[in-house]
Structure 1
Amino acid sequence: MELPMRTIRGDLLQLALDGEFDAIVHGCNCQCQMGKGIALSIKQRFPEAYAADIATVKGDRSKLGTISVAEIRREDRNFHVINGYTQFHWQGQGMKADYGAIRSVMKAVKAGFAGRSIGYPRIGAGLAGGDWATIASIIDEELAEENHRLVEYTP
């Protein structure tokens, strides 16, 4: 039985802190730069996720499609932040999202977090310039049968 993508509104990071998700996934570049968008918010609120990112090799193209994971412990809450390497760089114009990498990231998420609740923003469709309809179909295919939800940001 496939569970199609469900959408909720709110603050992904706060929802994770509130116990809504066992894991949250966001798209990263391979340059160890978490300087804009939700990546910056994650870096500021969950420095463990940034530490997991900078523990990888900066500028390594072979990171594309892989993940690094940080366990977050806050008071009585535990969850994971998954840094998904969905783009090589962040600079310049045009599309930086890599659909193949997004697919590989979601395969890795399913392999590591099957049976858990997973939340994510519009990975690859914001600053990375990817087409959300294409990305959403990739996520739905790769996370079929999992409890996953898109969180559209509302403060």
Structure 2
Amino acid sequence: MIHYIEYGDIFKIPGVTSYAHGCNCAGAMGKGIALQFKTKFPEMYVEYKRLCDNGEFNPGDVYAYNYGSGYVFNLGTQATWRTKAKLEFIENAIERMMEIAECAGVEKIALPAIGAGLGGLLWGDVKQILEKGAVQHISVDLYAVENYCKL
């Protein structure tokens, strides 16, 4: 199931300890919510950067980082920070994330409007992909914050 939250901070949703965000595959987390993930989970960033530098994290991939209390799902939505996100990248990454979450017993994931900010996609198009993923994986609830604001 998907829960849409019009405004909010994905890190402050009660009962949610796993998070997802769209990122590029070039190792840069310098803007937007990606910068907050880099700051909040510095060890995750080091491994993400290594994967990118070695060509092991590509568009459509998922790098799932277990930080002890939950997971951070890094979704490869853009090739580089200069390119736009693509719906097929998001679709592949969401499907893979949901499979990983089910296997790991993750029941709730909070995420921003992936691909619709710096990624340049229309949120309505991305929502259709999220809804498809949620219908196919009913054991995982998604909490999509449509307008992220740090509270």
Q: TM-score range by the shorter chain?
A: 0.7 to 0.9
Cα deviation digits, residues 12-64 of structure 1 (max 9, x gap):
1243xxx6224211001010000000000110111132123113133849711
RMSD over equivalenced CA pairs, Å: 2.0
Whole-Å separation in 2 of the counterparts to 1:126 and 1:59: 27
- Residue of structure 2 equivalent to 1:112: 100
- Residue of structure 1 equivalent to 2:37: 42
* Structure 1, unpaired ranges of 5+: none
The alignment status of 1:25 with 2:25, answered yes or no, reads no
Taking structure 2 as the reference length, the TM-score comes to: 0.84
Whole-Å separation in 2 of the counterparts to 1:124 and 1:59: 24
Cα deviation digits, residues 46-105 of structure 1 (max 9, x gap):
1132123113133849711001121224xxxx011111001111126xxx0111110010
Cα deviation digits, residues 94-147 of structure 1 (max 9, x gap):
xx0111110010111111102511110000000111111000100110122231
Whether the 8 Å contact between 1:52 and 1:68 is mirrored in structure 2 is no
The alignment covers a number of residue pairs equal to 142
Whole-Å separation in 1 of the counterparts to 2:58 and 2:112: 21
- Residue of structure 2 equivalent to 1:6: 3
% identical aligned pairs: 29
Whole-Å separation in 1 of the counterparts to 2:42 and 2:57: 24
Aligned residue type for 2:74: N
Taking structure 1 as the reference length, the TM-score comes to: 0.82
* Structure 2, unpaired ranges of 5+: none
Whole-Å separation in 2 of the counterparts to 1:69 and 1:48: 13
Whether the 8 Å contact between 1:61 and 1:88 is mirrored in structure 2 is no
